[in-house]
Amino acid sequence: MTIEANYRRLHAGSAARYQQARTMFPNGVTHDGRYVTPFPLYVERSQGAYKWDADGNRLIDYVTGHGALLLGHAHPAVVAAVSNQMARGTHYGAESELAIQWAALIQELFPSIERLRFTASGTEATMLALRLARAYTGRPVVVRLAGHYHGWHDLLARDSAADSSPPGVYDGLLEATMVLPADLACIEATLAARSDIAAVILEPTGASYGALPLPQGFLRELRALTAARDVLLICDEVAVGFGRTGKMFACEHEGVEPDLMCVAKGITGGYLPLAATFATERIFDAFLGRPWEGKTFYHGHTYTGNPLACAAALASLDLFDRNDVLRNVGGNAEAFGEFVARRELHQRPFVGDIRYKGTMIGVELVEDQKTRARFDARRRVGAEFCARLRKRGVILRSLGDVIVIMPPLAIGRADFLQLCDAVVAELAQMESSI
């Protein structure tokens, strides 16, 4: 039986729901990243590392809610905190102490977080950071690095490889962001040559959750050269903040304190939409003034600091602390290091680079291991590989031909290594059909 025929056999309920969804949503999905051929899975329930689909299949989830569900699905402590808050009111349209409690906790853990502002998504958090950077420096242009993703707002929506804007994005905005390669000499030369650059924004572990990692020391040097020119450094920790890399924030690995930092996803353990932008006191102070002076930086939205989301964030941060989650990430990272050292992955002929930081892993699939020649993109080898794994009850995703493994931070060592074995076994299967 072909992979597709087997998939159709196992997921008839999802196929039926997709027929209806196709008449409603673009490509039949509510998020482009959930588009899967021949049809996506419809999930009815999730718990821990598992999801159950509309046909009752149990799937192991290593995508964990677009990388957000750090503690796995439906952790009882977070569910209890949110349920408790739910009964006390979901949206006060007023201040609540929950936001203060969370902010106090994060500031206690990271005294360098001086001021913060909540938003609801990573996209809004980076949008806010960019606007702050422009307003603070009085300069219009923001540098981003090729391939680094910062959400879907117009200023950052353009794919760095494309020479035109995505449909609907005003071309005039192209000049407001400048895409540079992750090359320090090039960035330094650009900052030296131009006086209109407000900030450099980047994913501190490299493009796409570190699927294309940055060299060791890159962030530290970038910090030095931006500081030397009084250009702000914005670390987008939306995907990697809150422990993914084995430290609470990825920039800690290089001892870097950015001027602005954006967090989302894992801020609530991935349970509810909440995001934040952190700023230094220096930036905050620049906007102080009487209302009529026009300095005030306004930014509120209907659900800012939503009590439900703050309750989830508090419960999640508390679990981090009590369960020593970061130590578990370190243990699993070590286990993966040992796994890689055994070279079983490297021995598979289609495996190129293997990148990992904490338990954020990218396994690159290449056509030729020696030359590192890539597969023709039209073959969608990465997506095909993930489709094959789904048949084993494992949900992974690919970014191009890089297989991304992001298990919940609390995953046990045995389950984690079982996943690695499943990847190796499926690679062996794939070799016979390519």
Minimum CB distance to ligand PMP, residue 399 (Å): 10
Taking CB under 6 A as the binding criterion, the range among 101-109, 234-242, 297-305, 348-356 that sits at the site for ligand PMP is 234-242
* Structure tokens given for 315: 């419960």
- Catalytic, 324? Answer no
Does position 122 bind ligand PMP by CB under 6 A?
A: yes
What the block records as the tokens of 139 is 């300069």
| Catalytic, out of 18, 62, 136, 149 | 149
* Residue choice 7, 18, 118, 149 for contact with ligand PMP (CB under 6 A): 149
Smallest distance, ligand PMP to C-beta of residue 388, A: 24
- State the number of binding residues for ligand PMP (CB under 6 A): 13
Catalytic residue among 7, 62, 265, 357: 265
Cα–Cα separations (whole angstroms), residue 69 to 264, 270, 324: 11, 4, 17
Half-sphere exposure of 128 (CA within 13 A, CB side): 28
Question: Cβ distance 241 to 263 under 8 Å?
Answer: yes
CB-based contact 264:238 (threshold 8 Å): yes
Q: Where are the strands (E) in 295-346, listed by range? A: none
CA distance 407 to 161: 29
CA–CA dist 380, 397 (Å, integer)? 12
> What residue number has its CB nearest to ligand PMP?
122
Indicate whether 126 belongs to the interface with ligand PMP (CB under 6 A): yes
- C-alpha dihedral over 52, 322, 312, 297, to 10 degrees? -140
Task: Indicate whether 384 belongs to the interface with ligand PMP (CB under 6 A).
Answer: no
231 sits near ligand PMP (criterion: CB under 6 A)? no
Residue 105 corresponds to which tokens in the numbers above?
Answer: 């906790």
Residue 265 designated active-site: yes
Identify which of residues 149 and 320 has a Cβ nearer to ligand PMP in the complex.
149
353 is a catalytic site residue: no
**Roughly what angle, to the nearest 10 degrees, separates helices 3-10 and 381-391?**
50
Interaction between residue 119 and ligand PMP (CB under 6 A): no
Which residue in 199, 232, 238, 308 binds ligand PMP (CB under 6 A)?
A: 238
Question: Interface with ligand PMP includes 121 (CB under 6 A)?
Answer: yes
Which residues of this chain interact with ligand PMP, rule CB under 6 A?
66, 121-123, 126, 149-151, 203, 236, 238-239, 264
Catalytic residues: 149, 236, 265
